[in-house]
Structure 1
């Protein structure tokens, strides 16, 4: 099972889980997670300019759209010996994420992720999973991501929409920093958790660093985006994505994107009858 866990994470390249009922008025109808301030009397940070804020929000939330994206990547993780792995990650916006991973041209794993859940098979160990996102919630110590937010994570989009009253925006040497004023609270079947959020953007509003810290434990996640490129269709994408997991579980995963193609592709997925299903408990 220990071999399976890192391979699943690599196959899906997911920092994701399904929140059963996030504490938000509009998360179910939005493509981002909306965080509202728990205290309606909390003041907006002093000295901020509404016009500047509107421009900032426009830059970080509004992007050129695409229907299909094929990403060729190399994936390295500190808890798996056979790396780097070659990966193809295909995104069909709002519908599915498909991934195929190989090592030295030998097929290693394949996954199909939709809003309904996760299917993934490990060709080396000849087993597979068919689950909702709660499995990865338990693996990665978070409890608030859904399918759409996974799409955003993979391509460096801001997947939190923090209310104006619960965000502090400052200018610094690296560009712009946005942080939550009060803790972000999420409730699932497993209970309530609170997080502190910190986001760093470059001068041209590319997301460069996201930090999430559980305020009641040492659990934390950091996602670092670098080497941003503007594609011919004006879609901006990061060539390097690093996920750093800290706390009760520690891991680093690096995704090096070598090529982007905006075209449709076949996404075959079928599990051989001889494969054993891994039961998620």
Structure 2
């Protein structure tokens, strides 16, 4: 599968060519873009969370998510101190083991895109999404940015076009940021269907080197599929850790359709 993104973020194209909003201060925009795109570098981050999802029979689940920048996302999920699942995600794709049902997944990113009803998730996009970083590369020509007492509002003037594997989808985009540029809310609405995804970030925490991370991430899927996934009560660590992954011989592979 060809990834939808280029370099560090998804590239979003204009459906048509609109001029830059009249009356907008370009310097203000440059400052805004610098703050939402340029972040302190990190080597690894350990995230301990509770996961609640309305399509999981038993929840909340205890989850450890470990990210090595640009390399891998490893997760281990427990229920009542028993290991329930494990996954490892790299730029090449997704591997996951469900120990409760004794099956496993070995797929490209089409699996996650189908799960979320979208078409633009690749490795780097997912890494940024989990960390509350802006994962769309917004054109200065097709966005409207306003400021109020609560922070910044960004909305698309024209539909945002994303092409993956030759398949094009267009979205209307809305994003909100706090006064100190923390991402608060993202909504991507498919303009040709009822499909939409919303992501809500809350309880931002500051660390050394100006690194900031959200303790709460809520993903809401609407349209032909509906579900909610919530990561909360998050604690962070920054030490390197082992990331074991293996599939027992008697496990059945789930075919992604």
Alignment-derived partner of residue 256 in structure 2: 280
Aligned to 1:192: 168
Distance in 2 (CA, whole Å) between partners of 1:266 and 1:21 is 28
- Residue in structure 1 matching 2:89, options 86, 97, 113: 113
Q: How does 1:219-258 map to 2 (within 5 A)?
A: 219-258=195-234
**Is 1:62 the equivalent of 2:38?**
yes
Equivalences for 1:23-172 in 2 at 5 Å?
A: 27-28=5-6, 30-40=7-17, 42-172=18-148
Quick check: 1:260 aligned with 2:236? yes
Structure 1 residue ranges (4+ consecutive) displaced by more than 6 angstroms after TM superposition: none
TM-score, with length taken from structure 1: 0.88
Identify which range, 105-114 or 249-258, moves more after superposition. Answer: 249-258
Q: What stretches of structure 2 of length at least 5 have no aligned partner? A: none
Q: In the alignment, is the contact (CA less than 8 A) between 1:71 and 1:257 conserved in 2?
A: no
Equivalent-residue separation in structure 2 for 1:157 and 1:101 (angstroms) = 24
Of the candidates 142, 165, 175, which is equivalent to residue 151 of structure 2? 175
Q: 2: distance between equivalents of 1:36 and 1:185?
A: 5
Q: Secondary structure at the match of 1:211?
A: strand
Give the stretch that moved more between structures: 243-252 or 253-262.
253-262
| 1: CA distance, partners of 2:229 / 2:220 | 7
Determine which structure has the larger strand proportion and give its number: 2
Whole-Å separation in 1 of the counterparts to 2:239 and 2:44: 5
Q: TM-score, normalised by structure 2?
A: 0.96
Alignment RMSD: 1.4
Shift of 1:87: 0.4
Paired residue total:
257
